[in-house]
Amino acid sequence: MTDQGRSIHSPCTRDQWWRDAVIYQIYPRSFASSRGPVGDLPGITSRLDYLRDLGVDAVWLSPFYGSPQHDAGYDVADYRAVDPRFGTLADAEALIARAHELDLRVVVDLVPNHTSWDHRWFREAIKAGPGSAERNRYMFRDGKNGGTEPPNNWTSVFGGPAWTRVADIPWVAGTPAAADRQYYLNLFDSSQPDLNWDNPEVHAEFRSILRFWLDRGVDGFRIDVAHGLVKDPALPDWTERTEMLDAGTDPDHTASHPVAPERPPMWDQDGVHEIYREWRSVLDEYGPDRLLVAEAWVQPEERLARYVRDDEMNQAFNFAYLTCPWDREALRRVVEESLSAMDAGGAPTTWVLSNHDVVRAASRLGLTVTGKGPNGIGPRDPQPDAEKGRRRARAWHMLTAALPGSYYIYQGEERDLPEATMLPDDVRQDPAFFRTNGAELGRDGCRVPLPWEAGKPGLGFSPTGDTWLPQPADWERFTVTREEADPDSGLHFFRRLLARRRALGLGIGGLKDVSPEVGGLAYINSAANHSHPDLLTVTACAQPVPFPAGWRRRASSVPFDAAAAVIPPDTTVWFTR
């Protein structure tokens, strides 16, 4: 960042609504249910007014398509259908229509790296046998040593081998395919076979799926595992562990989390970009206001920036920010790197602290070591300091809301919701828990159904009171009922935060790093068209920071005694002149 500060004066037309949008992630299984233990689309529609009142601009829905749910819907059996657990296609259309009435955009999830093993294509491939056109839609290979060993040594992101023998698929037993010795690639669960993106038929199918949902009025797509679709054609052995996070190189050792020394053969191959160019032109047929956002765990930031070139996607999730430790210098570095990498191509930066795959920020930040955090926290693990975690999460959110770019919030974050850290093993459902024999607890703790109403069974999540994962006993305090009644609750904090962000035009300002002069982590955000006063945001991480001279305190992440004119640790304060 220069002394003059970084200029982010890109025009924010309605067409490019995402540039400064606040986008709220809904995890349909766990948001709200109109029927029973699993959340559904009518449940979501019934709570859209709540989201409009919160002040968000758009919702992103994790998958709700036809699926056996071996990976909570990221195993899609029918991309053009709504799973009966979640409702019907008419429910999806009603949700989109109601959201639009409320001026909320709707982004849906697209899962192109793999299908479910229940997808018609995969069933056909198994039946048609080796060498068939049907098998060529997936990554089938003969095993080594006469079929006794997998084609290479890759491991699955969820643990265990990344290759499954056809004969080992449970539903193949007793069919002619039981004698089949081929293997198929599954970078995730065995129930999620990887598609073959060298096959034009796969390209055509996904263009058609995009059109199917665009025709129903969706405003964009979040692309699952966007860095994984194309593999090194030689399928070379890879001795490192296969982790989503490893998808890149870090020659200068400046990345905010560990990455592999070389680019892994399953991630971030150059061929993926051709696919996104194709999709960009499909979306453009529907107008300039349709969004593609990449889930791409790619380092360094310059590689990530390739996904958001002019003719590709519009945004990529900023996982370097999410995994950053709660540390002044690390945060300064990641803010600077994120802005400079994206600025180069004119794409807006995104800011994200939580999602359905990581320990919730309000708990992650209460651990002794902050950063990406473990894959789940259980009753036998050291427990986070709840008060510290909540306080830091609010401080980080208040810093984030002052940064230009788009801002993603995961359901429950707006109520300070922590991770459920006491789930017993026998309720866990994440395939990562089973595939690592419990060595990794997995992501269930951030997916527990939301509490809504105090005094109701299941805290108002469903009319029956049933929830597919048990809610912690003390979650009544995170219901809307309780939080509405407390002016210092997360809900009131977030409503005020988003309203101020909008009023001050912060999503699109120019940003200047004034940390050295002011102390702490300090930025001045100046509105693009000078229509609003400058805002100075100051975050104190470990050390207290004196109030800056000549500025007036406007809001803080937590109430504190301001008589000493000092910002206490783990606190953010906004100032105006």
Sites of contact with ligand NOJ (CB under 6 A): 71, 74, 111, 188, 224-225, 295, 356-357
Could you say which DSSP state residue 284 is in? H
> What distance in Å separates the CA atoms of residue 557 and residue 494, rounded to the nearest whole number?
10
How far apart are CB 244 and ligand NOJ at their closest, in Å? 7
> What distance in Å separates the CA atoms of residue 359 and residue 413, rounded to the nearest whole number?
12
Active site residue 284: no
> What distance in Å separates the CA atoms of residue 124 and residue 122, rounded to the nearest whole number?
5
Question: By Cβ distance, which residue is nearest to ligand NOJ?
Answer: 74
Kindly report the CA angle at 337 between 407 and 6, in degrees rounded to 5?
A: 80
Q: Do residues 220 and 290 lie in contact, with contact meaning Cβ atoms separated by under 8 Å? A: yes
- Which region holds residue 139: left if phi is over 0, alpha if psi is between -120 and 50, else beta? beta
Q: Do residues 216 and 92 lie in contact, with contact meaning Cβ atoms separated by under 8 Å? A: yes
Of the residues 53, 142, 240, 285, which is catalytic? 285
How far apart are CB 413 and ligand NOJ at their closest, in Å? 16
**Closer Cβ to ligand NOJ, 403 or 420, answer by number:** 420
How far apart are CB 409 and ligand NOJ at their closest, in Å? 16
Of the residues 134, 224, 246, 483, which is catalytic? 224
Q: What separation in angstroms does the CA of 468 have from each of 46, 51, 85, 356, 443?
A: 19, 23, 12, 15, 14
Q: Residue 223 phi/psi, 5° resolution?
A: -95, 115
Active site residue 285: yes
Residue 538's SS3 state is strand
How far apart are CB 374 and ligand NOJ at their closest, in Å? 16
List 1's β-bridge partners, or say none.
none
Q: What separation in angstroms does the CA of 153 have from each of 230, 235, 405?
A: 18, 9, 40
> What distance in Å separates the CA atoms of residue 488 and residue 522, rounded to the nearest whole number?
24
> What distance in Å separates the CA atoms of residue 493 and residue 174, rounded to the nearest whole number?
59
How far apart are CB 376 and ligand NOJ at their closest, in Å? 13
Residue 292's SS3 state is strand
List 6's β-bridge partners, or say none.
511
**Closer Cβ to ligand NOJ, 294 or 518, answer by number:** 294
> What distance in Å separates the CA atoms of residue 568 and residue 576, rounded to the nearest whole number?
19
How many CB atoms neighbour CB 470 within 10 A?
Answer: 15
Residue whose C-alpha is closest to residue 338's, from 371, 305, 362:
305
Residue 526's SS3 state is strand
**Closer Cβ to ligand NOJ, 63 or 548, answer by number:** 63
How far apart are CB 575 and ligand NOJ at their closest, in Å? 37
How far apart are CB 44 and ligand NOJ at their closest, in Å? 18
* Terminal Cα-to-Cα distance of the chain (whole angstroms): 23
How far apart are CB 412 and ligand NOJ at their closest, in Å? 16
**Closer Cβ to ligand NOJ, 356 or 388, answer by number:** 356
**Closer Cβ to ligand NOJ, 357 or 414, answer by number:** 357
**Closer Cβ to ligand NOJ, 317 or 574, answer by number:** 317
**Closer Cβ to ligand NOJ, 74 or 461, answer by number:** 74
**Closer Cβ to ligand NOJ, 357 or 413, answer by number:** 357
Tokens 């979650």 — which residue?
Answer: 475
Query: In what order do the strands lie in the sheet containing 535-540?
Result: 510-513, 521-526, 535-540, 571-576, 552-556
How far apart are CB 189 and ligand NOJ at their closest, in Å? 8
Structure-block tokens of residue 161: 């081998």
Q: Which residues are catalytic?
A: 224, 285
